[in-house]
Structure 1
Amino acid sequence: MIHGLFETHINVSNAEVSAEFYEKVLGLQRLFHDPERRAYFYWVGKPGEAMLGIRENYPSANVQRQHFAFRTEVDELKQAAAWLEQRGIESRNFFGGDSCTLYVFSFMPAVSIYFKDPDGHSLELLAMLPEKPKPELGIITWEEWERLKKGYLKGEIK
């Protein structure tokens, strides 16, 4: 019955500032602007696949920090830190350190990079890796994942 996550909505402190960030900085395609509700809606990926809604001070003026991840491809993730930096966005890894050291969530497996929007919402660019999950490895550096992957492929590691 459930085939994916279609929409996410977040509360923002200033709809226009956030709209500029999501449209001009991240490049999301605007679907609709509802000035009466001070809300904007964006397609994430291809139109009709997924939607992000932002709404100013709803349900209250207190903005609770949220987290969500945008799906990307592995080759694109390799360029993500530079792409974010070109847009004036500081990126970090899962543990809050330098984005030069990215981590793999081996239970999925996926690799990602983190950054924030103007309200401090935690955003993530996440790429699923083509290998089988290895949850016993925990969260390891991408470099370590690649090294171990080569060992598995050569039959050195079971």
Structure 2
Amino acid sequence: MIKGLYEAHLPVSNLKRSIAFYEDLGLEFSHSHGDQLAFFWVEKGKSWLGLWETENVKLAYHPSIRHIAFQVTLEDLKKSIAWLEKRGYHPREAFGFEPIEPFVMAHHDMAHAKIHFNDPDGNSLEFICKMENPKKITKRMYLSEWEKWDKNI
């Protein structure tokens, strides 16, 4: 029945500022409805992100709301901190990992490397890539440690 994620939505306090931010991340603007709603393609013709201008942006953060993870390649993830900082954005601490490099969360058959950052309204964003985990590593670690661990086990 379900084939994938079609859309996700985030609240923003200033739609024009948020449009510029998400365009700077490389998302393609699709369309808007008036001056309070804009859509961006995450994967053109397949999935998009809706941004809603509202005064109710100050909702308390919880990962179940106000969070979007964007899939990237491992090579792009390795460059993501410099890429973000070049644009004036800063990665943040997540799951106890300081934003000095991407980190890996492994789960038996798979693993995900990731880095977290926020948009101008504090919405949680993430660059993430799925990785194979044939050695069934279950430890969380920085990506550089993972690459050493994965080669040595």
Maintained 8 Å contact 1:21/1:117:
yes
Output the amino acid matched with 1:6.
Y
The percent identity for this pair of structures is: 38
Shift of 1:92: 2.6
2: CA distance, partners of 1:13 / 1:113: 24
Output the amino acid matched with 2:83.
W
1:48 counterpart residue number: 45
1:156 counterpart residue number: none
Maintained 8 Å contact 2:105/2:111:
yes
Matches of residues 25-104 of structure 1 in structure 2 within 5 Å?
A: 25-35=24-34, 38-45=36-43, 47-57=44-54, 61-63=55-57, 64=59, 65=61, 66-95=66-95, 97-104=97-104
CA displacement 1:8-42 (0-9 Å, x = unmatched): 0111111111111111x212101111115x10000
Moved over 6 A (4+): none
TM-score (norm 2): 0.85
- Measured at CA, do residues 12 and 49 of structure 1 come closer, stay the same or move farther in structure 2, by a change above 3 Å? same
RMSD: 1.9
Maintained 8 Å contact 1:42/1:51:
yes
Determine whether 1:8 maps to 2:8. Answer: yes
- How many residue pairs are counted as aligned between the two chains? 145
Shift of 1:43: 0.3
2: CA distance, partners of 1:68 / 1:18: 14
Structure with higher strand content: 2
- Measured at CA, do residues 39 and 72 of structure 1 come closer, stay the same or move farther in structure 2, by a change above 3 Å? same
Larger-gyration structure (1/2): 1
| Structure 1, unpaired ranges of 5+ | 153-158
| Structure 2, unpaired ranges of 5+ | none
1:115 counterpart residue number: 117
Maintained 8 Å contact 2:78/2:102:
no
Maintained 8 Å contact 2:81/2:101:
no
Shift of 1:69: 0.5
Shift of 1:139: 1.8
In structure 2, the residue corresponding to 1:109 is in which secondary structure?
Answer: strand
TM-score (norm 1): 0.82
2: CA distance, partners of 1:119 / 1:94: 17
Output the amino acid matched with 1:8.
A
Maintained 8 Å contact 2:101/2:115:
no
1:126 counterpart residue number: 128
In structure 2, the residue corresponding to 1:137 is in which secondary structure?
Answer: coil
Shift of 1:144: 2.5
Matches of residues 15-26 of structure 1 in structure 2 within 5 Å?
A: 15-23=15-23, 25-26=24-25
